[in-house]
Structure 1
């Protein structure tokens, strides 16, 4: 019986309780999906963030990660499906790590390097030219193009 109780508790912790309350002030969220292309091809494994242009919504972080087709389902705070209605600036980030993170690989230089794979102008809210609007109802947002592939050195790990 004890083992069963432990499994029930672990299941509740990892899946969340059905009765979990949403945070105070959470606006109505509308399902949203966006597709990201780089050089005309789907960009898999990228992080997409929607930053509201309405200061009253700035605390509600919305975004997602792209799948192998470049599609990202937008979630707010990483757990609530959708985004509030409004206009958003969109940032797209993707990084790659090269080298040995542990330093235990034979013949490795023990140096780990990180690279940004999306043009810098799309990675920051102050420079991104991408804007979208989420409206009431389902939102299949226009596909986003982030230009040619890049491999910019980022901070050392």
Structure 2
């Protein structure tokens, strides 16, 4: 009986602590000038299109399990702005960069435009989120 009580008490600890109103982890999303430069980065690098490209790659994994129309529906309903809105993985890439660093990155991408393919600035976390998004949205498609 004592073991059961101990297990119940110990298993409720995380719930107790969450209920105490401990603050959530700090947001990675910057503000002010840094956010402005990141928005320029999104525009200059065609980041929304790149996200859709990676989502398309994630969806091809399921091409043998779902119809083309289901895959296309998930692709078309994807909203890159909402995906990036409070995305910790995305903003975390810029966390330790100065305004000057971000400006240099923007200038580099501007100088590369029209000169062929360039390496996208994307993290494993973002790719993982896109894969999860594809999987979860496709699950909703099945009756």
Place the TM-score, normalised by the shorter chain, in its bin: under 0.3
Highest RCO, 1 vs 2 (Cα 8 Å, sep ≥ 6): 2
**If each structure's helix is expressed as a fraction of its own residues, which one has the higher value?**
2
TM-score, length-scaled by structure 1: 0.23
Q: Which structure dedicates a bigger proportion of its chain to strand?
A: 1
TM-score of the two chains, using structure 2 as the length reference: 0.25
